[in-house]
Amino acid sequence: MLVSRRPVALTLAAATVVLAASTACSSSSSDSDPDSAAESGAEKEESGPSSPGAERPEDQAEDPAEGQAETEQQAAPEPAWDTSPSSIAAIGDSITRGFDTCGLLTDCPEASWATGTDAEVASLAAQLLGDDTADRVWNLAETGANVADLPAQARRAARHEPQLVTVLIGANDACAGDVESMTSVTDFEADFAESVELLRAESPETQIYVSSVPDLMRLWEEGSESMMARTVWGMANICPSMLADAGNRSEGADARREAVRERVQAYNEVLARVCAEDELCRYDGGAVFDYEFTSDHLSEWDWFHPGESGQRELAALAYEQVVANVTTKD
């Protein structure tokens, strides 16, 4: 499984009061000094007749075009993606924890595609940061996690204010006891969107790299011919929605597996859409889902999680996306 937006005019009453006062003053001047009255009349002709509610020059509306131009000039530029972040936090599930990569039924974070230190894996962190990753790398993923666990992980990651957060989630949401028990697309979107919103609110400058969910159907295709794989999947009850009765090729079994694949594709559409709404989020464009992994990339312990070579491929795919000059949003 390679896997949050005038000008003021005088009121009519106020303008009438001002006009009445002005008229009274003009009448008084006219009675006592005809020449002054004549001059006053000339001034009125030059300035134009006064009318109730007329706006003074300082009260006139600003030209909308000028206002818009000024707004555009003042608008902040879109934040630029940093292709060489100096700190990384990883959130997600057992894939990012390196479960069953180094040993049976155990996490192996040193072999994680995102934050591992194993030279054979060449993790994303190792490629971006080099060997000095102390206090600059945090693996907060949890074995067994699904998307409902992601907001809490995102909050923990935000406390470190990392320059980059990696996300790989969704396989466990599809790997339910049966098709009916898979996480709904609506719930998946709500939890993932909340996670992105939390990161953006609590660590505004953090970049987010989102991996697509791996193609579980390909996993079945690669292992279903192996007696060992089928036995392990059955005994350990691994991803029953896809892998149960792995040797069964009946129409009903095929329909079940296809339903799981369609749900994974729907999850990936959610990841792409939500990520596209955030200026500092990059989705892998389906790179992990489309990757044609083989049994050689799988754990020798469970034929499900990535082995060392599988973790290495995940790291390579992530690095390619993170250092790209153009953001992948689809």
Position 200 pLDDT exceeds 90:
yes
pLDDT over 90 (residue 7) = no
| 196 in Cβ contact with 278 (< 8 Å) | yes
Q: Where in the chain is the domain with CATH 3.40.50.1110?
A: 88-322
pLDDT in the model for residue 223: 93
The residue to which tokens 């709500």 are assigned:
190
Q: pLDDT over 70 for what percent of the chain?
A: 75
Distance CA 201, CA 158 (A): 9
Over 60: is that where the pLDDT of 259 sits?
yes
Of the two residues 310 and 28, the one the predictor is more confident about is 310
- Contact status, residue 206 vs residue 198, Cβ threshold 8 Å: no
Between residues 238 and 17, which one has the greater pLDDT? Answer: 238
Query: How far, in Å, are 3, 111, 137, 174 from residue 160 at the CA level?
Result: 24, 22, 9, 30
Query: What confidence score (pLDDT) does residue 273 get?
Result: 98
Closest CA to 281 of 75, 3, 81: 81
Share in percent of the chain as helix, strand, coil (round to 5): 50, 5, 40
Q: What span, in angstroms and rounded, lies between the C-alpha atoms of 147 and 189?
A: 9
- Distance CA(283)–CA(272), nearest Å, equals 6
Q: Report which of residues 44 and 159 the model is more confident about.
A: 159
- For 18, other C-beta atoms within 10 Å of its C-beta total 14
- Condensed to tens digits (0 to 9), the pLDDT of residues 57-74 reads 444 555 555 555 555 445
How open is the CA angle 140-164-204, to the nearest 5 degrees?
Answer: 105
pLDDT given for residue 47 in this prediction: 43
Mean pLDDT for all residues in the chain = 84
Amino acid present at 132: D
- pLDDT confidence of residue 125: 98
* Distance in angstroms (rounded) separating the CA atoms of residues 90 and 81: 18
pLDDT band at 157 (very low <50, low <70, confident <90, very high): very high
117 by Cβ neighbours in 10 Å (0-12 / 13-18 / 19+) ranks as middle
What is the value of pTM for the model shown?
A: 0.77
Answer whether residue 211 shows pLDDT above 70: yes
Right CATH number for 88-322 from 3.40.50.1110, 3.40.50.10860, 3.50.40.10, 3.40.35.10? 3.40.50.1110
List CB contacts of 61: < 8 A, sequence separation 6 or more. 6, 7
